[in-house]
Chain A
Amino acid sequence: MQYRARVLILSLTVILSGCGALPNRIVLFGPVSGCSGVSEESLLASRNSLGATTSTDELHCAMRIARNATMPSFVKSSLSSEIALHLAERQAPGADREALAAEGVKLAERSLSAGGKQDAAVHYYLAANLGLAINDHPVQAAENLHRLEDELTLAVKISKAVDQGGPLRLLGMLYLKAPPWPTGVGDGDKALSLLKESVDEFGDHPLNHLFYAEALFEVDEKTAEAQAEIKKGQLLLANGPWGNNREIWQKEFADVINEVAKAPR
């Protein structure tokens, strides 16, 4: 998940960016060929292959289907919200990204209404989209901190395995980057615990190592251990099937490496 809790939480400090509801605009896509064979059934059947390596054209086709989905098993699933998130993450920061992420939130809410409350992925993708949608709107972000915490806590409770420890990863970063008690939900102990668990249980995901490294560095000032985690993450990133995410995550790694390098020796 390339949406970063860091940016979200820091944005809480930015004010006057406007309040109000999430964007309610549909992002339209240009003509795409090859959509004829795509259906709710086919998307459900191939959902495990949907992700970083899926082409943007394929995602556009999938999004068109998701918007008009009627099949109960499709509507109830997290698939629509997940597709929206993949598309949003590929947009540059701005109105289209926010609109797609906001649509991802609404699609997740549609899933919850359709009976998806026991699906961890629905809660997880709702939170991930919500984070992205409000990234540059700090008053909204502050207002939604508890909702993010609640959705991710539910996701963790139901299943930690979504997106290779995604609920642990995002909730951990929420606690790491949020303003700490007494002004916010930030909690270094919780962050360390969740992010360590993400590494222990889902050690193949590079961001789990990167985020745990950040927690080790920021909470306990364990620079050497943080650097070791970063190296593990870099190795995974270089050799794994991370498709469109690789370049974005490399930047994330570079930022943390830079931060750790500034630490007093």
Chain B
Amino acid sequence: MRLFSLQFTLALASFLFSGLAASVPAPVVVCYPGGPVSEDDANKAMSAMLNVVEKVGGWPTQSFSSAFSSDVEGCKILLKEKKPAFAITSLGIFLDQRQSLHLEPVVQPKMRGGSTEEFHLVAVKGHFGSLNDVKGKQVGGTVFEEAEFIRRIVFAGKLDPQKDFSLKPSKQAIRALRALDKGELDAVLLNGQQFAALASLPLTHELESVFTSAPIPLMGLVANQKASSPEERNRFAKALSDMCSDPDGKKLCELFAIDAFVPASQAAIQPAISLWEKGR
């Protein structure tokens, strides 16, 4: 689930690293399911980023190591093999791996004034009267990489995209929306960031939301409770919370439309956990 951009994900990772004071390489897994980026490219970027962070933070070079995956299964393998104390994951991966890896959310981003987002199933205006009308139709979007998350959380178990839609996943939302505009798709599922930016696209047809999810928490940094201490988690949380008021960090926050980083709200995330468990 791409809850926020790759840039943001990696940016967040860099600030994570800036909070570390490791004397040995500390692996951090970064998951970006469904992202339109090769893992080689991303890992090169992560390595370069680590060099910069090490320099800025005054740590010896090669203090940290990173592991990136844009594939759900690949990410799970990395989490299992690397056993990182900290990871940057989608909400879907967090929910899926929460119990087995003892994951605890540490920090959430605040974007467009909040730390939640709504998903929207959009279609050409007037084509469908309700979500039921979309059943059996061709539906696209970048978010279907985590189909189980979409089923359990976005549709709250009321609909199974894999059974109820003819899915046409895409690596780029803009391609799916163009296909919708040309009549090659019937609907597209968008995350909050994509939906908020719809007006910037020069589409022929007016689109409308056929379905809007309940508010879903944005996920950021998570920690393995057994591999990290409360002090380390607090340190990360503080480093990230201070980020957008830091001179360099402020520029970055503005660049990626992040208002701030805030301590993760267990109360806000609990409903998603309950829905996930209910959907088993």
Which residues of the partner chain A approach B249 to less than 8 Å between Cβ atoms? 16
Q: Which residue of B lies closest to A221 (CB)?
A: B171
Q: Quick check: is B204 within 8 A (CB to CB) of the other chain?
A: no
Flag whether A89 is at the interface (Cβ < 8 A): no
Contact between chains at B172 and A142 (CB < 8 Å)? no
Closest CB in chain A relative to B177 CB, distance in Å: 8
Q: Which residues of A contact B45 (CB under 8 A)?
A: 10-11, 13-14
Known interface pairs A11-B48, A14-B48; A259-B40 also in contact (CB < 8 Å): yes
Interface assignment of B42: CB less than 8 Å from any CB of chain A = yes
A147: shortest Cβ distance to chain B, in Å?
15
B55 to chain A, nearest CB (A): 8
Contact B52 A17 (CB under 8 A): yes
* Residue from the list B7, B56, B251 in contact with A19, Cβ < 8 A: B251
Size of the chain B interface, CB-CB below 8 angstroms: 39
A182–B36 touching, CB < 8 Å: no
- Contact string, A189-208, partner B, CB cutoff 8 A, digits 1/0? 10000000000000000000
A15 touches B193 (CB 8 A): no
Q: On chain A, which size bracket covers the interface? A: 20 to 34
Taking CB as reference atom, which chain B residue is nearest A187? B174
Closest beta carbon of chain B to A83's beta carbon, Å? 28
Instruction: Establish whether residues B201 and A181, one from each chain, have CB atoms under 8 Å apart when the complex forms.
Output: yes
B 139-183 contacts with A by CB, 8 A: 171-175, 178
Contact between chains at A183 and B44 (CB < 8 Å): no
List A contacts of B41 (CB < 8 A).
6, 10, 177
How far does the alpha carbon of A183 sit from the alpha carbon of B5 in the complex, in Å? Answer: 7
Contact A189 B178 (CB under 8 A): yes
- Whether B42 lies near A10 (C-beta < 8 A) is yes
B49 located at the interface, meaning its Cβ lies under 8 Å from any Cβ of chain A in the complex = yes
A237 in the interface, Cβ–Cβ < 8 Å? no
Least CB distance, A246 to chain B, in whole angstroms: 23
Shortest beta-carbon distance from B75 to chain A in Å: 16
B18 adjacent to A189 (CB under 8 Å): no
Cβ of B255 < 8 Å from any Cβ of A?
Answer: yes
Distance A12 CA – B45 CA, assembled complex (angstroms) = 8
Which positions 239-265 of chain A face chain B at CB distance < 8 Å?
255, 258-259
Residues of B within 8 A of A218 (CB): 36, 38
User: Once the chains are docked, how many angstroms separate the CA of A258 from the CA of B44?
Assistant: 14
Q: A16-B56, A183-B7 are in contact. List 6 more A-B contacts (CB 8 A).
A: A11-B45, A14-B10, A139-B252, A142-B255, A179-B5, A188-B36
Question: B-contacting residues of A (Cβ < 8 Å)?
Answer: 6-7, 10-17, 19, 136, 139, 142-143, 177, 179-184, 186-189, 218-219, 255, 258-259
